[in-house]
Amino acid sequence: MTPLALPLDGSSTDILAVANSPVLWICGLGVFAVIIIQSVIYMRAARKAAPAAGMTQDELKTSFRSGAIAAIGPSLAVVLVAVALLALFGTPAVLVRIGLIGSAAYETGAANVSATTMGAALGGDTYTQQVFAVAFFAMSLGGAMWMLATLVFTPILKRGGHKLAKVNPAIMTVVPAAALLAAFISLGTAELPKSAAHVVTLLSAAAVMGLCVFLSRKLGKNWLREWGLGFAILAGLTVAYFAHGAGLSPVA
Amino acid sequence: MSTSLTARTDTASTASLDEFDRTTSRWGQLTMIAGLIISLAGPMYLVIFGNLDVATSQLWTAFAAVAGTFFVIWLVEPLTYFPILGPAAMYQAFMIGNISNKLLPSALVAQTNIGAKPGTKRGDLAAVMAICGAAAVHLTSLLVFVGLLGTWLISVIPEDLIAVARLYVLPAVMGAVIVQAIVSMKQLRPTLIAFGVVLVVQFVLLPLVPALSMMSTAISVIGTIFIAWFARRRTSDVVA
């Protein structure tokens, strides 16, 4: 058998056969390796520069430790969401796209938008290996745009101070809010006509998220908000399981 | 050791800070470019060697739809986070991801714990170290809980449960994310405008022009931006 070509058939819906292929695993772990190398280089540079910035080695250690401890909760919250998405995208894509570079909201949004351009829907009968490949490509290229913007803007911002961000405060508040809200409201609304089970899934996830936000404010517990997304997805899927079993599923 | 600042001359400290800037911007850029290429290599491999009959036009159409939906966020996020993170940490943050829910809190906690202000050199260094710490925790928990345990879990869960998860995970994610976006944006007017525009696009425009369904989200995003911009509060009072 040839080492590179996969024995695939674009119309198959066995997504995990493609999504968990060894080459994707290698690329995924490659991104992990790049981040580790970057961290090591940065920590060595920081250690050297610390005295000049008026920072002790103890303060460097404290910063590292504070960052690590603060990340435990949010990291595990991301893990929960990532596991829920494994069936949709396979492990390597979930690790890189949802776990690292992107976030659950953007990446599932991008994948869904891509599938729609092919007349398909993520997760259903039309979600073939071909649709997965196109969606994975488009979400990865989309993620690359974030990095590209960072590579272009960082040197400019460094030179020109924060002028660019201060052009007009309204641009920096109204426009992103409008873009973000419209994107996710549109993606959510597009789910509703699919079936009654989709409707109750969306509504129950929204309700649980709302409850988590409300309780976190009421009780002053920030972690409830961090975990909200994971809890809401689990609740949504549980409701979906019973709704699906009760015959509210899309007509085959 | 090197902790006594007073002993150092200004030129020496400027030089070593310059070196930090040079090292982090050179290696930050190089590692980010490497990450960018490797993250694209996976899907490129599938498209080229996968025998999946993917046409180039399909790829660009899909990407155009994604770009129409998210281009504003691509541009705005780096501008928004730069003042808090500082130049060096920018190259870390946009590769490690989950910036607002994980990296920013980590950086802010570290800066508070050592009494460093964002935007100062101390603040920048604290952010860099905090993000390294966050990355160590995050990479480990991803590899163990998603890479190993998660993959195992998927292999033992009954097939019909997996099918249900695959079919309904999208509405579950979107339901939660809509609420999250509304709450964290705290802007009533754009929220109402977004709902209005989406309903019009989804239930009036698409039935009239079904061919637009491929780009419906991008149309809603661009429409909402325009209307929200012209309908914004013009008073120069403080925006929350």
Asked, for residue A169, whether it belongs to a domain, the answer is no
Residues 6+ apart with CB under 8 A from B63: A114, A137, A138, A141, A142
Report CB contact under 8 Å: A136, B197: no
Looking at the partner chain, which of B8, B42, B178 has a beta carbon nearest the beta carbon of A24? Answer: B42
Does any domain span residue A179?
no
Q: Which of A69, A106, A118, A146 is the best residue to mutate to test the B interface, defined by the most B CB atoms within 10 Å of its own CB? A: A146
Structural domain includes residue A188: no
Could you list the residue range(s) of the whole structural domain that residue A142 is in? 15-162
Closest CA in chain A for residue B200: A186
In a domain, A43, yes or no: yes
Q: Please list every residue in chain A whose beta carbon sits closer than 8 Å to the beta carbon of residue B149.
A: 83
Within 8 A of B151 by CB-CB distance, chain A residues are 20, 86, 91
Q: What is the pLDDT of residue B51?
A: 81
What confidence score (pLDDT) does residue A2 get?
42
pLDDT band at B128 (very low <50, low <70, confident <90, very high): very high
Query: Rounded CA gap, B156 and B162, in Å?
Result: 10
Tell me the average pLDDT of chain A: 85
Chain B environment of A191 (Cβ under 8 Å): 170-171, 174
Interface test with chain B among A60, A172, A174, by most B beta carbons within 10 Å: A174
* pLDDT reported for residue B2: 43
Closest CA to A31 of B85, B144, B22, B135: B135
Tell me which range, A30-39, A117-126, B77-86, is most confidently predicted by mean pLDDT: A30-39
**pLDDT attached to residue B6:** 45
Q: Is the pLDDT of residue A169 over 70?
A: no
Contacts of A104 in chain B (CB under 8 A): 173, 177
**Number of domains within chain A:** 1
* Chain B CB within 8 Å of residue A56 CB: yes
Confidence (pLDDT) at A122: 86
Tens of pLDDT, residue by residue over A69-109, are 888 878 888 888 888 888 889 999 999 888 787 778 888 88
Report, as an integer, the average pLDDT of B157-181: 86
Report which of B103, B200, B97 is spatially closest to residue A32, judged by C-alpha positions. Answer: B97
A123 vs B contacts (CB less than 8 Å): 166-170
A9, A37, A59 member nearest B31 (Cβ): A37
CB B42 within 8 A of CB A23: yes
Please state the length of chain A: 252
Report pLDDT for A76. 83
Is residue A118 one of the residues assigned to a domain?
yes
Q: Which two tokens stand for residue A7?
A: 């024995």
- Cβ within 8 Å of residue A100, ≥6 positions away: A31, A32, A35, B95, B96, B97, B142
In a domain, A181, yes or no: no
Is residue B63 very low, low, confident or very high in pLDDT (cuts 50, 70, 90)? Answer: very high
The pLDDT score that the predictor gives to residue B144 is 92
pLDDT at residue number A18: 86
Best CA proximity match to A65, nearest among B104, B137, B85: B137
Name the residue of chain B whose CA is nearest to A145's CA. B74
Position A228 pLDDT exceeds 90 = no
Residue A74 belongs to a domain = yes
Of the segments A189-198, A199-208, B16-25, B86-95, which one has the largest average pLDDT value? A199-208
Q: What is the percentage of chain B residues whose pLDDT exceeds 70?
A: 92
Q: What is the pLDDT of residue A158?
A: 83
Nearest residue in chain A measured CA to CA from B83? A162
Q: According to the model, what pLDDT value does residue B239 have?
A: 44
Residue that has been written with the tokens 């080229």 in this structure? B48
In a domain, A196, yes or no: no
Interface-testing mutation among A108, A164, A189, A238, with chain B (most B C-beta atoms within 10 A): A189
Specify the higher pLDDT residue, A189 or A173.
A189
- Average pLDDT rounded to a whole number, residues B173-183: 88
Tally the C-alpha atoms within 13 A of residue A26's C-alpha that lie toward its C-beta. Answer: 6
Partners of residue B191 in chain A, C-beta under 8 Å? 181
- What span, in angstroms and rounded, lies between the C-alpha atoms of B72 and A211? 30
Predicted confidence at residue A1, as pLDDT, reads 38
Of B1, B27, B150, the CB nearest to A38: B27
Which positions 137-156 of A are in contact with B (Cβ < 8 Å)?
A: 137-151, 153-155
Q: Do A10 and B24 touch (CB under 8 A)?
A: no
A136-154 pLDDT per residue, tens: 999 999 999 999 999 998 9
Nearest CA in chain B to A76: B141
User: Using an 8 Å Cβ cutoff, are B127 and B105 in contact?
Assistant: no
Rank A34-38, A125-129, B233-237 by mean pLDDT and report only the highest.
A34-38
